[in-house]
Each structure stands twice: as C-alpha cells, then as structure tokens.
C-alpha cells in the first residue's frame, strides 16, 4: 500500500506538539498530523492523574505566552485544570482534528532520494512527510525499578503514571518507592486514608514552602476583561523563576549568587523545621547536595506527613521485595498490600530519542549521541538530520518552566520555516560548524554553573547524562534563548 504523504508529521500531542501545530498553522501549513500513542491529548497532563497532582510552577507562568488563561482557580493549579487548558487551547486553535490517537510511532528514516521522512507506525503502516517534528517530552517513559523480587510481589503494584482512579488506599498498608516531585505530591494524599504508609527514600529532595492562593471570581473577571493584569502577575512569577535558575544555578561562579543558593537551602530547612520537631528525622530528610543539582519542589504538607504515627520513612535501602512486602537492608520486613512506584522516568536511555530516528547517510540519532556527545543546535537541530526538529533534545529545556522552552522553539520555527518558504526551498539542515560552535558554547557556559562547580555528586539527578555531563538544561536566560531563536544567523542552516 503506498504511504500517505503529508507536509509535516508531529510526534506527540502534549503541550509541545500542540504548540508546534499552532505555529505550523500560523505559517500556513494545513497538511500535517500529530500522532500520539495515547487516546487523548495533553501528554504528561493526560497520562498523570495520581492524587495530589498539581503543577509546581505558578500557572500564570506555566501557560503559553500567547494564551493566558483567566480561569485558573489558583496560583499552582491542579492537574485536572491543566489538562482542561490543553483541551481548550487545542480546540481554540483547531488542532484536535489533526491529531491521530492510539498511534504509536516506531521509527523515522530520511529517504534521501525522495527528500522525505518515512515514518513507521506500530502495526505496519507508514507515513511520509517533508518535515518531521518530534515533541515526545522529556519525562514520558516511566522508569520501573529493577529491584530483586519485584515480579513476585503478590499485592497491587502501580507506577504513578498508571494510577487507578478506583483505587482506595483506605485501611491498606502502602509503600511508596521514590521521593521526587511526584512522591512529594502523592504521599500527603495517601497518608490521609492509608492505614500504614512507608516511604522508601534513596535520595532526599529539597522542598521549599509553596506560596499558593486561590484566584477569586473578581480576580478572574479582571484577568478576563483586562488581560494585562494577568500578564503583570506573569511578569512577577516569570522573574522569580528566572532568578531562581539564573542566579542560583547558571551563574554559580558569582560568589554573591552562591550565597543566594545557600539561602534557598536555608529556606527549605526552615520549611522542614516548622513541620518536624524530631531532629533525627529532619536530618534524614535533608539532602547532602546543593539545591538545583536536581529539580527541587514545593510543598507545605510533605514534611508534616512524616510526623504522623502511621507514616514511616525508610532510608536505609531495600534488599529485595518478597511476595508480601519489602525486605529492608537491615533484614526487617515491611508487610504491605500495595506498592506504589513513584520512581520517575527514564530520560536518557529511553527518551533520547524516544523513537528510532535515522538521518542522512544512515546516521542513527541515538547511536550518534552516544558515540559522540549529546548535542543539538539551539536544542532542536542536528547535522545529518534534514527537515527535522527534535523539541525534546539535549540543551533544549530552559530552566524550570516548560512553556519558556516552547516559546523559544516556536519562535525558532517561525524564523526557520519562514525563511524556507521565503526562498521557495524544500530542505533545511544545520551545518556541522554551527552545531559544533553551539555545543562548545553550551559546554563553556556550563563551566560557570552549579552543575559543574557545585556539590552534585550524590544527587542522582536526571539533569546529568549517563556520562556525567549536565547536558539536559540550556544554561541561559529565557530572554537570551528567545533572542537567539529569533535572530540566529540563517547561514547556520543549509537551506536548499
């Protein structure tokens, strides 16, 4: 059967894919599809629906720059509201009709003779497209821990990305493995009804107080009538988050900024002190690495939960899992009914790239990244991969807010595709020189960052690739990234 031919295939219908689709429409593309393995849109905000799910970035900032939402109920909105925002934006920009759900992409291969991407789908079908955009997210492949005996556990076992909404922990003995941002939200919720809750912590997390509040109906009406009022609040929340990442992390070489980083850790310690009286418990919950080595989070209830008599912190390690519980390193056993895996995501091995991508002269992206270094010009382009933008790439993620990443990537699309159209060209490919210069610059900038100069050795952070390089985050301000995306030399791409 001949394969269907399109202008663009976007892989992923989360916020990145939806943003890319909106930008393509603005550029005049009509013949494109978004392919998603799920049966609904929203990416991580569709997949995740565990109790307590909320965003840990103020929603004034956690939204598209061109689409403020006056209806947020509170500063740190719930997962349900964010999913609804994704739905509303997709509907408003008429993106939904381009989405094909339950469609898993297995690989994409550049056909040099036809100058087309051949996209292979699970089930055997193929699509062809002039341009390929992968918008597969950074945290989309769940990590299942390889703990001895886990397959023999006879009770219920659930990863947080596969939450069963009908599950009621009331009266149950529950164990949670993991203390990342997900666990910090979930643990206080489980503790409300579980009979007994044991939390297995391998690496503690820095947790700052959450300054959250409701938006009154009056405030919402004001945001709706005078959008600049909400933009003013966004300017404040944007600035706070930019300062956190740029002052506390990116420019760690400046002694004053290093002092501010220490102050942020002090704030987390005060948050802990106000909730926990037991000094030893506080010590066990306190990280021994610098804040920012891995992603910190916010909560006003996480620490207090450990003071409840039925909640226990296990930080000595797991020996193995038995049919009826967890055998701890000290030989004791915690008998449980349900095991919750808040063990996060496999970012480097399973996600970079999330599908097999083969470019010009048979260059395999995953292999090339591993044989050389993880790299992507402007966080989106690699040489030998014509007509391809990889939105979830090394050096792509800006700071703490995904929507800032989306903003510069949409502007880059605008400049690049705009130029391709203006020249009546059909292909673009970043030059090797531009890519190398960009990688060198990222490496140099990272030399001043906390990830290079700070105490990160024990953090086990997904900011670092398996070789130990901090090649996930783009070490610059949002403003600089946006300027670069809008003004990069067009000669950095070969456009033909």
Contact residue for ligand NAP among 305, 343, 375, 471 (CB under 6 A): 343
Contact stretch for ligand NAP (CB under 6 A) within 18-26, 270-278, 340-348, 373-381: 340-348
Q: Which is nearer to ligand NAP, 147 or 416 (CB)?
A: 147
Euclidean distance between CA atoms 428 and 432, whole angstroms = 13
Non-local (6+) Cβ contacts of 272 within 8 A are 207, 282, 285, 286, 303
Q: How many residues bind ligand NAP (CB under 6 A)?
A: 24
Q: Which helix (H) or strand (E) holds 19?
A: helix 15-26
Is 465 a residue that touches ligand NAP (CB under 6 A)? no
Q: For ligand NAP, which is the closer residue by CB, 224 or 301?
A: 301
Specify the DSSP element, H or E, that contains 407.
helix 402-422
Cβ atoms of 117 and 109 within 8 Å: the answer is: yes
183 binds ligand NAP (CB under 6 A): yes
Q: Report, in Å, the least distance between residue 153 CB and ligand NAP.
A: 14
| Three-state SS at 106 | strand
Q: Does 180 bind ligand NAP (CB under 6 A)?
A: yes
Q: Is 77 in the site for ligand NAP (CB under 6 A)?
A: no
Q: Which residue's C-beta sits nearest to ligand NAP? A: 180
Going from the C-alpha of 466 to that of each of 369, 417, 463, 471, 472, the distances in angstroms are: 12, 34, 10, 10, 11
Q: Could you please report the per-residue DSSP string of 304-361? A: HHTTSTTEEEE-S-EEEEETTEEEETTS-EEE-SEEEE---B--HHHHTTSSEEE-GG
Within 48-67, the residues that bind ligand NAP by CB under 6 A are 54-56
Q: What are phi and psi of 252, to 5 degrees?
A: -70, -15
Question: Does 42 interact with ligand NAP (rule: CB under 6 A)?
Answer: no
- When asked if residue 202 is in the footprint of ligand NAP (CB under 6 A), the reply is yes
Smaller CB separation from ligand NAP, 87 or 448: 87
Q: Under the criterion CB under 6 A, does residue 145 sit at the interface with ligand NAP? A: yes
Tokens standing for residue 198: 């044991």
* 344 binding ligand NAP? (CB under 6 A): yes
Nearer to ligand NAP, 200 or 257 (CB): 200
C-beta of 148 vs 421, nearer to ligand NAP: 148
Interaction of residue 179 with ligand NAP, rule CB under 6 A: yes
Return the ∠ at Cα 44 (arms to 223 and 31), rounded to 5°.
Answer: 85
Going by the DSSP 8-state scheme, the letter that residue 395 receives in this structure is T
CB of 240 to ligand NAP, least distance (A): 16
Binding residues for ligand NAP (CB under 6 A): 54-56, 139, 145, 147, 177-183, 185, 200, 202-203, 295, 342-345, 460, 462
């Amino acid at each position: 059967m001949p394969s269907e031919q399109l202008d663009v295939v976007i892989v992923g219908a989360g916020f990145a894919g939806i943003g890319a689709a909106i930008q393509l429409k603005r550029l005049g593309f009509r013949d494109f599809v978004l392919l998603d393995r799920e049966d609904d849109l929203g990416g991580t905000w569709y997949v995740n629906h565990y109790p307590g799910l909320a965003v840990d970035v103020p929603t004034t900032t956690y939204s598209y720059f061109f689409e403020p939402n006056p209806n947020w109920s509170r500063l740190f909105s719930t997962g349900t509201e964010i999913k609804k925002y994704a739905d509303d934006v997709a509907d408003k920009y008429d993106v939904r009709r381009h989405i094909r759900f339950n469609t898993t992409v297995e690989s994409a291969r550049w056909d040099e003779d036809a100058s087309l991407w051949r996209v292979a789908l699970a089930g055997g079908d193929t699509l062809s497209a002039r341009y390929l955009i992968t918008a597969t997210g950074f945290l989309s492949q769940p990590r299942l821990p390889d703990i001895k005996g886990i397959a023999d556990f006879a009770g219920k076992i659930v990863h947080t990305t596969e939450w069963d909404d009908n599950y009621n922990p009331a009266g149950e003995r529950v164990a949670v493995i993991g203390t990342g941002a997900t666990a910090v939200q979930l643990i206080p919720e489980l503790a409300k009804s579980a009979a007994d809750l044991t939390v297995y912590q391998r690496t503690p997390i820095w947790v700052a107080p959450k300054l959250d509040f409701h938006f009154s109906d009056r405030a919402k009406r004001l945001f709706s009538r005078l959008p600049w009022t909400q933009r003013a609040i966004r300017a404040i929340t944007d600035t706070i988050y930019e300062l956190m990442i740029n002052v506390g992390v990116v420019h760690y070489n400046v002694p004053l900024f290093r002092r501010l980083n220490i102050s942020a850790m002090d704030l987390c310690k005060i948050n802990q002190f106000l909730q926990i009286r037991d000094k030893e418990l506080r010590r066990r919950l306190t990280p021994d690495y610098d804040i920012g080595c891995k992603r910190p989070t916010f909560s006003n209830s996480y620490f207090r939960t450990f003071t409840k008599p039925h909640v226990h912190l296990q930080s000595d390690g797991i020996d193995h899992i038995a049919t009826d519980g967890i055998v701890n390193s000290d030989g004791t056993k915690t008998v449980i009914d349900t095991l919750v895996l808040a063990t996060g995501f496999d970012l480097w091995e399973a996600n970079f790239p999330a599908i097999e991508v083969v470019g010009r002269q048979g260059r395999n992206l995953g292999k090339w990244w591993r044989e050389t270094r993880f790299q992507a010009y402007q966080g989106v382009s690699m040489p030998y991969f014509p007509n391809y933008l990889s939105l979830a790439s090394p050096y792509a993620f800006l700071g703490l807010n995904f929507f800032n990443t989306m903003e510069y990537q949409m502007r880059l699309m605008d400049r690049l595709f705009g130029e391709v159209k203006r020249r009546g060209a059909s292909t673009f490919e970043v030059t090797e020189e531009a890519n190398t210069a960009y990688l060198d610059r990222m490496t140099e900038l990272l030399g001043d960052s906390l990830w290079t100069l700070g105490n990160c050795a024990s953090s086990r952070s997904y900011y670092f690739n398996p070789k130990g390089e901090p090649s996930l985050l783009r070490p610059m301000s949002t403003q600089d990234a946006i300027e670069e995306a809008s003004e990069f030399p067009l000669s950095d791409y070969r456009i033909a």
